[in-house]
Every structure is written in structure tokens, then in C-alpha cells.
Amino acid sequence: MNKENNSKSVIGGEFLLNEVDISKVFIIEDFNEDQRMMADSCNDFLEKEVIPLAEKIDNKENPDLMPELLTKAGELGLLGLSIGEEYGGMNMSFNTSMLIADIVGITGSFSTAYGAHTGIATLPLKYYGNDDQKEKYLNGLVSGELKGAYCLTEPNSGSDANSGKSRAKLSKDKSKYIINGQKMWISNGGFADLFIVFAKIDNDKNLTAFIIEKGLDGINMNPEEDKLGIKGSSTRQIFFNDVEIPSNNILGNREEGFKIALNVLNIGRIKLGAGVLGGCRGVIDHSINYSKERIQFNLPIASFGAIKYKLSNMIVKTFSCESICYRAGDDIEQKIKEFQVDGKNLNESELSAIELFSVECAICKIYGSEILDYVVDEGVQIYGGMGYSEEAPMARPYRDARISRIYEGTNEINRMLIVGTLLKKSIKNEINLFKKATKVIQDAKLKKIVYSSDNHFKSSYDLVNSLKDCFLHIFGKAALHFNDKIKSEQEVMMNIADVIISIYVLESTLKRCQKIYLNNKNKIMIEISKASIYANISIIKHHSIESVISYMDKNDARKSIDFINSCTEFENFNIKEVNRNIANYFLDKKSYSLFNNFK
């Protein structure tokens, strides 16, 4: 495995080929004092203004409550973190906006409203609005005077967004567009002042984006959706019937809407990965405290191995999600700076960097949403019967979590996006996967990784490099077998995607553990890294074998399975003791906090 070139920032997807320099891996502990103060300010706002009203928000006792809270967030500057100061924003770094999304994630319904407003409703204007449009709308969106919504999904076009039936027709005098269509699942729809609406002009192949203000004739809505979770967020179907808007309310260029949607969704995906973290920590803390207080058989249930197992896995998965999100966020940030040095303006640099790391954005979305589901499910289980009661603090997070695997593109679509993107990058020679895969397949030597407890991290990285060869083997074999038909082999693509995800998760977790360990020699980092190895190696082995046996004959499959087994053969840690050590560490701390876990 090659060492990375240190002269420039890393490239999206490059982690599959190169051994990453630890100095280039940002971890949550690297945030500076100013960023931590911003996090504290956001947390104070949530604890005083939002969290105490959680029940009222969910019950929708006051329809004005959510927009009022967004206005208060705007007054604190929380709605314009990534917007330039000329429009009232704070012009903060990409990873700082990730940190705030992380913290807001504990609030469920408010988090959805906040994310929709600051992300998919505001960013299209930031990146694609002309000067007049930005001047007219961005200040209001940043201050909270205006609330935004994003209208893409239709009854018959969810994941296949470009198949939408909404249409725009230019008037004879070319002064206005007439919009007709139906949009559904529109977050903030009930109170939004501004809609970013996607429709096709005449018989165009691709969507165009439009800015539509509320209150125009022809805009009608169905009642609020009665949802499984995030009940306090506004979700409406919106109908546009001969809605007339000025012709200069096109956002960006004609037929650029699909591109706008994809770029904004890439940002939404990585922000969603970070956005689950606050919720995970909240559930972990409740679970820790309850398990210490709940007495069964004359002992607190926290003393039982089954509970320690659950707590440890909840914590390790959350730790790993933090590791991948802030690593990817900083990689994007460094690439933005590099593009600016090369002469691009800030908007161009941000869009180019985010597109470059679309694979990592999808990984963060998939892993984050799935570990959130895991954490809340185990939280309910730790509470037992009480976990099923609305009186306990588990029911709402359990309901709220489920949507995360669906919006910003379903996890299945995102898995195929990961592999499809890497195939495209390989074909264009943007990343050298095919050449490396061919070499691994031709070499085909069985691996033998020797673990040394005296050099734990070095041994662990030898394993990671071997796992990358395992990926290159199954990726290359599938590409050779299916050629351009691989996109129809969704099961194989999802198997390969799960291998990629686990490699990124494991490597990121190891790098963070090593960085912390080098700083303070906290031995819990060894335990967390062992737990991550144990979890991810089994996932990689399972999905690699499932991938090859789905299309190879028995003889070829056996050869590939032998290679996969050799790549995934590693030290058998006493995982029971590892999990108990991790659980005991945080039971003693009484919390899994945003900062200061490992001092």
C-alpha cells in the first residue's frame, strides 16, 4: 500500500489506495477553543429554549413554535454559519458547521427543521443564486426573518428525482414562468416563506430550479402529515396550480436543477452523518444513568455483562461515527482551501470539494443513520419495559431515528452511489482503482498478518492495508465479470459498498485512537480500536464472500474465498473483556460527552 503524497490534501476515495498520514486525519479533539465556545453557545440555546419544549413541539400545540425557535436560532447566528458576512452570516469553516449539526442532532424535530432551513433551503441560493437573488433572500434566511423549504420529491419520483412531473412554461411575453406540479414530504412546508422548487421547462431532459415565495395564487397544501417520528416538524404536500413567478426567479441556469439537487444533497448527507451524533450521545447518557440506577437481583443492571456489551457497542459505534464525519469534513475543508489557492472563488471551491468527496459524504450518511438506529434500539432494550413507555426518554428518539435511513437519499441508493462513483472515477483515471485491482488479482498471494501487542497500531494498519487488498480483489473481479452491466447487480454493489464503508470506519477509528493515545497514553484507546477491528473485520469478510459467491463458479469462488479469508485473518481479541473495559470506563465517567472523554 502506497504512502500518501504529503504535498497536497487528500483526494476523495483515495483512502482505498493509500496509507493515510495520521497528521492529515482531523479528530473531534482537534477543535480549537473558539469552535468549542461556539458549540457551548449552541448547546446552551438548545438546553434553554428547545429541549424543555420537546413535548410541546412534538404535539404541535402551537403552530408558531417551530418558526419562532428558528428565529431565535437566527438571532444567535446559528442559521448562517456557512454564509458570508456580507449577507449576515458567520462565514465559518465547513467542519464548524458540522459540529453545530452534531449538537443540534439531539433535538429530533427541531433538528429536522433546522437542517432543512440551513441546508437544502439556503445553500442552493448561496451557491447558485445571482447577486440580486442573494441580496433579496439570503439576509432574511440567515436572520430567521424568512424560513425556507426545498421542494424536490414528488409522489412518483423519490430516489429517481429527475423523473419529476412538475412543469414550468414561459409566458408568451417571456416575463414569467407558470408552474404546475405536486411536491410531497416537504420539510418546513407549513410555515416556509420561500420554496426552492424543481420543475422541467417544457420538454427539457433535466430539472430547473426556481425560487417561489409563499402567498402566491395557486399554492395549496394538504394538512400536516401524521408521521411515525419527527412529529413536531412541519411536513406538507404542496400543490402548484398555474403559479406565476417572475422569469428572473430561475435559480442557476436552465436544466441545472438536477446538478443543484445532487450537490446540495451531498452536503446534506455528510451533515446528516454528523447530525445523528447528538442524539446518540443523549441516548447513551440516559442508558448509562438508568443502568446504574435500575436494580435487579439486588444489583444495578450496569453490573451485568449483557448491559456492558450493549453500552460498549453503542459507544464504539458513536466514536467511529465521530471519527469518519470529522475526518471527512476536514478533508473537504482542506480541499476548499487548496482550490482557493489555485484561483477558484469560495463557492466554486466548496462545490468542487464536496463533489470530490461524494463517496465519503455517502459513507457518513449511511453509517451515521444506521448506528443511530442501533443506539436507540439498544437504549430501549436497556430500559426494558420502561423503554416502551412515552414517560421514559427513549420512545421519542426511537421514533425520530428511523427517517434518517430514508431522507437525503435512501441508504440503498447511497450504497450504489458509492460504488458507481468509484467506477466512474476509475474509468476517467481520476483514481487508480482498476490498475491496483488488476495487480492484486494477478498477484493473488495469500496474506499473513502477524499481530504484536507491543506495536498494536502498526499491526492494525497492516490489517487495514490487507483489507484494502480484499476490497480491490472483489471490486476488480466484479468489474471484470459484469463490465458495464454491474449497475444492474445491486446486491453485489451493496456488498462492495459495505466493505468500503467498514474500511473507512475502521481506518478512521484507528487513526483517532492512535492520535489520542500518542497524546496521553490512555489505554482505553487500545480497547476501542480492538472493538472496532472485531466489528468491522467480520462485516468485511461476510460481504466480500457474499459478493463473490453470487456470480462465480465454485472453483473460482473457492480461490477468492481463500484470498478473502487470508486478508481478514487477525488476532482473536478477548472481546468480552474489551467490551467490559469500555463499558466500565464510561460508567465511571457517567457520560459519553462531546469533549473531554479521554483526559
Place of cell 428558528: 70
Residue 291 contacts residue 300 (beta carbons within 8 Å): yes
Sign of the Cα pseudo-torsion (537, 542, 547, 549, in order):
positive
CA distance 538 to 463: 13
CA distance 597 to 513: 12
Residue 214's alpha-carbon distances to 148, 166, 188, 192, in angstroms, are 10, 18, 12, 7
Beta bridge partners of 208: 199
Does the active-site annotation cover 360?
Answer: no
Q: Is 51 helix (H, G, I), strand (E, B) or coil?
A: helix
CA distance 310 to 392: 18
Residue 372 contacts residue 279 (beta carbons within 8 Å): yes
**Pairing mode of beta strands 194-201, 208-213:** antiparallel
Residue 199 contacts residue 181 (beta carbons within 8 Å): yes
Residue 391's alpha-carbon distances to 20, 383, 396, in angstroms, are 47, 11, 10
Cell numbers that stand for 34 in this block: 473558539
Active-site choice (408, 489, 507, 527) = 408
Q: In angstroms, how far is CA 60 from the centroid of its own chain?
A: 28
Range 43-58 burial, b when 16+ CB lie within 10 A, else e: bebbeebbbebbeebb
| Of residues 548, 396, 309, 310, the one with CA closest to residue 57 | 396
Residue 336's alpha-carbon distances to 81, 275, 567, in angstroms, are 16, 22, 36
Largest pairwise CA distance in the chain: 82
One-letter amino acid at 119 equals G
Q: Catalytic amino acids?
A: 408
